[in-house]
Amino acid sequence: MDGQTDADSPRDWRVTSWQRRPRELFALDGRIAVVTGAASGLGRAIALGLDAYGAHVVLADKNRQGADEVAAELKQPALVVETDVTEAASVSGLVQAALDRFGRIDIGMLMPGINVRKPALELSDAEWERVVDLNLTAMFRTAREIGRVMVSQSSGSLVLMASARALTGGQTQAAYSASKAAIVGMMRCLALEWAPHVRVNALAPGYMATPLVQQIARDPVWWKATQELHALGRVGDPEEIVGPALFLASDASSFVTGTVLAVDGGWTAGR
C-alpha cells in the first residue's frame, strides 16, 4: 500500500475488504524461523511461541544440549544447529543448514547477549570487548547473513534483541547499554537498506526473569530495586516477550519497520 490513488478510481479510504483476515494476522504456518540463543531465556520462550503459531524453528545456540531440550518441546519439525555467533564460519554454517533443510528463512530472532555489571572505572578493555563482540558485532554478523537471504528472496522479518538499557543508561551498565543502543542504530540502518521487502525491528525488554539476571535475583535488596524500576512493579516473565515477538515476526506488523518495541512494564515511560 503506497498511499497513491488512481485518478480514474479514487481510493476508498474505509476498510471495505481486508487484505489479511484479522484472525490470520499472527499465523505463521509453514514459515521458517531462525532463533539464535534459543536454548535459554527469551530465545527459548520465543522459539516455543513461534512453534505454537505454526513456524518451523531452527534452534541455534552454542549450548547444544539446551537447544536439543527445547527442540524436544516443539510440535513442528525443527532443526538444531550448534552455533557460536561470535564465529563467522559458524554463522555461515547456520544459514546454510537452515537453507539446506527448509530452503528459505522468513523470520530471524537474534537473541544472544551478555552483561558485565561493573563501574566504568573498573571495566577492563577485555570485558568491554567481550560484551561488544557478542552483543553488537555478532548481532551485526548474524543480521547481515540472514538479511542476505531475506533480501535475495525479497521477504522476511528480522528482530534484533536490544534492551530497555538501549533507551536509558544505568550505573554499571556502560558496555551493555552502549552495545544495546548501537543495536538500535544498526537496526534503523538495516531497515532502511533492506526495505521494502524485508522488515527489521528491535525489542527492548525491561528486566525479565531469565538466567541473565540471576546475579541480581540472588540479592534481595538489588532485586527489589530492580522490580521497582518498572511501572508495573515487577520484572517480566520470559513468556511476556512472546506476544511482542510474534507481532513483529508476523503479518500483524506488516507496516512496522525500523522501530523499537519497548516491552518494559512501563520502565522507560518515566524517562
Ligand X SMILES: NC(=O)c1ccc[n+]([C@@H]2O[C@H](COP(=O)([O-])OP(=O)(O)OC[C@H]3O[C@@H](n4cnc5c(N)ncnc54)[C@H](O)[C@@H]3O)[C@@H](O)[C@H]2O)c1
Q: How far apart are CA 267 and CA 220, in angstroms?
A: 20
Place of cell 516477550: 241
- Give the phi and the psi of residue 232 in degrees, each rounded to 5: -80, -5
The Cα 205–Cα 266 span in angstroms is 10
| Known catalytic residue at 176 | yes
Indicate whether 112 belongs to the interface with ligand X (CB under 6 A): yes
Minimum CB distance to ligand X, residue 17 (Å): 39
Would you count residue 43 as binding ligand X (CB under 6 A)? yes
Q: Which is nearer to ligand X, 32 or 47 (CB)?
A: 47
Q: Does 111 bind ligand X (CB under 6 A)?
A: yes
170 binds ligand X (CB under 6 A): no
Q: How far is the CB of 147 from ligand X (least distance, A)?
A: 18
Length in residues, the chain: 271
Region from 21-29, 105-113, 242-250, 251-259 binding ligand X, contact rule CB under 6 A? 105-113
Which residue of the set 102, 176, 194, 247 is catalytic? 176
Q: At what angle do helices 88-102 and 139-153 cross, to 10 degrees?
A: 30
Question: Judged by CB under 6 A, does residue 137 bind ligand X?
Answer: no
Question: What is the enclosing helix (H) or strand (E) of 177?
Answer: helix 174-194
As measured in angstroms, the least distance from the Cβ of 168 to ligand X is: 12
User: Which residue, chain included where needed, has cell 487484505?
Assistant: 19
Counting contacts by CB under 6 A, is residue 266 touching ligand X? no
Q: Looking at the DSSP assignment, which residues form a beta bridge with residue 198? A: 156
Nearest to 224 by CA among 232, 235, 214: 235
Cell 505454526, residue? Answer: 54
Query: Which candidate, 180, 178, 233, places its Cα nearest to that of 205?
Result: 180
Query: Which of 33, 58, 105, 161 contacts ligand X by CB under 6 A?
Result: 161
Is 207 among the residues that bind ligand X (CB under 6 A)?
A: yes
Task: For residue 131, state whether it binds ligand X (rule: CB under 6 A).
Answer: no
Q: Is 39 one of the binding residues for ligand X (CB under 6 A)? A: yes
The binding track of 78-97 with respect to ligand X, each residue x by CB under 6 A or -, is -----xxxx-----------
From residue 1, give the alpha-carbon distance in Å to each of 13, 150, 196: 12, 20, 11
Residues in touch with ligand X (CB under 6 A): 36-37, 39-43, 61-63, 66, 83-86, 111-113, 134, 161, 163, 205, 207-208, 210-213
Task: Give the active site residues.
Answer: 176
